[in-house]
Amino acid sequence: MSIDLHTHTTASDGTCSPTELVKLASEVGLEAIAVTDHDTLSGLDEAQAAGRMFGVEVIPGCELSLELEDGIGWLHMVALWVPQDAKALNDAFEWVIEGRKNRNHEIVEKLRQQGISITYEAVAARAEGTIGRPHFAQELVSLGVVSDVKEAFRVWIGDYGRAYVPKRKLKPKQALDILNEIGATSILAHPFALNMKPQDVDELLGKLKAMGLDGMEVYYSEHSDVEVKRYKELAEKHDLLISGGSDFHGTNKPHIALGKGRGKLHVPSELLEKMKARRREMGLPV
């Protein structure tokens, strides 16, 4: 059986509602999924209710965007088994979301300064949950500024785009202190996106492990066979749990299928059992 421990819904920047996501997971034969929306827990109640309805185990989670020390880069961290009443985490999300609102207005202003007739209200109307860059991309397509979402990111709102604005982020230690406090399992997401040499990833993992990191995404839609092998070896070296997921966003990432990624992804269900065993050893609920 397969699982998928990295997915997104309309609670952040996906296009499937939590119920639609879980229903799709059932249809494609997934045994379990983790719902890991960006900086929010708002879709988890609905997702878990849908899990009971469709017979899919739903792991409550989220994804955090973090800034490395000294501003030398960023990383994403997936948190699993997140309690929704965790005040420390929700307070951190409020801080991040406040910064994101300011960022969204800045992006609108940058686009308008470059002759694009875009409004914050139009972008916000596209979001059911947190407003993110995919919603800007959709509006730019609708306005005829670009031909598709990929071009919108490449030219305008991606990390090197003409209207890029960095977003407010926690530092890894801040995030891991919170996740350890609330009993969540912390997973370094898609390490290929760090754009680091293998030895630098190795060094970073050592630092994150010392801060309390639990695991790493080895199986991921964009990881090559060579990268899967390399990251698996690094995870084993640092005694980290091995995780995996598609990073499914629905039609916002049309080339990524739930549970299958680009077609080859397979995240074995025994990885979830190993996570649960580790949590039981630590006296944490599963």
Cβ proximity of 247 and 256 under 8 Å? yes
Q: Is 29 left (phi over 0), alpha (psi -120 to 50) or beta?
A: left
pLDDT digits (tens, 9 = 90+) for 216-254: 999 999 999 999 999 999 999 999 999 999 999 999 899
- Once rounded to an integer, what is the mean pLDDT over residues 107-116? 97
- Once rounded to an integer, what is the mean pLDDT over residues 41-53? 97
Cβ proximity of 101 and 94 under 8 Å? no
pLDDT exceeding 70 applies to what percent of the chain?
99
Bridge-based pairing state of the strands 57-67 and 30-35: parallel
| The CATH number of domain 94-157, selected from 3.20.20.150, 1.10.150.650, 3.30.750.210, 3.90.1170.50 | 1.10.150.650
**What mean pLDDT, rounded, does the chain reach?**
95
The pLDDT of residue 100 is 83
pLDDT digits (tens, 9 = 90+) for 211-222: 999 999 999 999
Choice between 128 and 204, residue whose per-residue pLDDT is larger: 204
Q: How would residue 167 be classed by pLDDT, with cut points 50, 70 and 90? A: confident
Q: How would residue 97 be classed by pLDDT, with cut points 50, 70 and 90? A: confident
Q: Where are the beta strands (DSSP E) in 145-192?
A: 185-188
- Once rounded to an integer, what is the mean pLDDT over residues 183-188? 98
Q: Rounded distance, CA 153 to CA 13, Å?
A: 14
| Homologous superfamily, domain 2-84+171-281 | Metal-dependent hydrolases (3.20.20.140)
- Once rounded to an integer, what is the mean pLDDT over residues 151-158? 96
pLDDT at 15 > cutoff 80: yes
pLDDT at 130 > cutoff 80: no
The pLDDT of residue 131 is 87
pLDDT exceeding 90 applies to what percent of the chain?
90
pLDDT at 269 > cutoff 80: yes
Backbone angles phi, psi at 252, to 5 degrees: -70, -20
pLDDT at 166 > cutoff 90: no
Domain map (residue ranges) of the chain: 2-84+171-281, 94-157
The pLDDT of residue 70 is 65
The pLDDT of residue 71 is 60
pLDDT at 111 > cutoff 70: yes
Q: Rounded distance, CA 88 to CA 146, Å?
A: 40
Choice between 50 and 1, residue whose per-residue pLDDT is larger: 50
Q: How would residue 175 be classed by pLDDT, with cut points 50, 70 and 90? A: very high
**Tokens in use for 141?**
């397509």
- Once rounded to an integer, what is the mean pLDDT over residues 266-277? 98
Q: Which residue has the tokens 């997936």?
A: 78
The pLDDT of residue 159 is 87
The pLDDT of residue 73 is 84
pLDDT digits (tens, 9 = 90+) for 66-77: 999 766 689 999
The pLDDT of residue 1 is 86
